[in-house]
């Protein structure tokens, strides 16, 4: 069975993006998942001088190994001032100093949400443009606007049109996930 990693790109203990990532992972039938929390990978603020002095922290290595061992990722982006949260950017900066691309060519279902009307679409645009340069294969994407209105902890996405659009993207991700990991396996065996 394929296994994915899912997380909210936020260090909030009450992250709405962690909730959305968890919901998406649970909706993905027939695929095993692990929900991770960026708070479990505390890291000092990246700086070249610090890296030279102390090397790359173990938590960056541990995160990178988790990505490597997965078949794909669900990442839900929180938006701070139209951009990545500091926690997510800092983590990717540290991981980018290791060998190889940060996202290791894995298929990614990129999602975002906020309580605003754009649902984190600014950070989504940035991520869609630049994460591929860091080895992300963005297989599907979806932004949920007005989280407070359109999401319920019991029922998930409650607006029918938004739920439909979300499920269509989830199915697309699943197709890519199954196809691409089969290809990777075939290459390994071959």
Ligand X SMILES: Cc1cc2nc3c(=O)[nH]c(=O)nc-3n(C[C@H](O)[C@H](O)[C@H](O)COP(=O)(O)O)c2cc1C
Among 4, 15, 108, 138, binds ligand X (CB under 6 A): 15
CA 141 – CA 41 distance, rounded (Å) = 25
Contact track, ligand X, 66-95, x by CB under 6 A: ------------xxxxx-------------
Judged by beta carbon, residue 107 or residue 119, the one nearer ligand X is: 119
Please state the closest distance from residue 116 (CB atom) to ligand X, in A: 3
CA 88 – CA 14 distance, rounded (Å) = 16
Interface with ligand X, residue 114, by CB under 6 A: yes
Q: Which residues pair with residue 140 across a beta bridge?
A: 109
For the chain, give the number of residues: 190
Please state the closest distance from residue 80 (CB atom) to ligand X, in A: 4
Judged by beta carbon, residue 17 or residue 181, the one nearer ligand X is: 17
Judged by beta carbon, residue 153 or residue 190, the one nearer ligand X is: 153
SS3 for 122-154, per residue? HHHHHHHHHHHHHCCEEEEEEEECCHHHHEECC
Interface with ligand X, residue 17, by CB under 6 A: yes
Footprint on this chain of ligand X (rule: CB under 6 A):
8, 10, 12, 15-17, 78-82, 114, 116, 120
């Amino acid at each position: 069975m394929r296994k994915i990693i899912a997380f909210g790109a936020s260090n909030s203990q009450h992250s709405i993006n962690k909730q959305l990532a968890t919901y998406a992972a649970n909706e993905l039938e027939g695929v095993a998942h692990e929900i991770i929390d960026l708070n479990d990978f505390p890291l000092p603020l990246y700086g070249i001088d610090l890296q030279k002095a102390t090397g790359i922290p173990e938590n960056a290595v541990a995160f990178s190994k988790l990505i490597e061992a997965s078949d794909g990722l669900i990442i839900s982006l929180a938006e701070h001032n139209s951009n990545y949260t500091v926690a997510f950017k800092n983590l990717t900066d540290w991981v980018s100093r290791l060998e190889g691309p940060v996202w290791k060519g894995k298929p990614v279902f990129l999602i975002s949400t906020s309580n605003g009307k754009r649902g984190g679409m600014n950070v989504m645009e940035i991520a869609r443009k630049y994460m591929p340069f860091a080895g992300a294969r963005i297989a599907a994407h979806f932004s949920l606007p007005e989280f407070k209105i359109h999401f319920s902890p019991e029922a998930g996405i409650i607006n029918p049109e938004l739920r439909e659009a979300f499920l269509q993207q989830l199915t697309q991700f699943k197709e890519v996930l199954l196809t691409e990991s089969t290809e990777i396996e075939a290459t390994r065996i071959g």
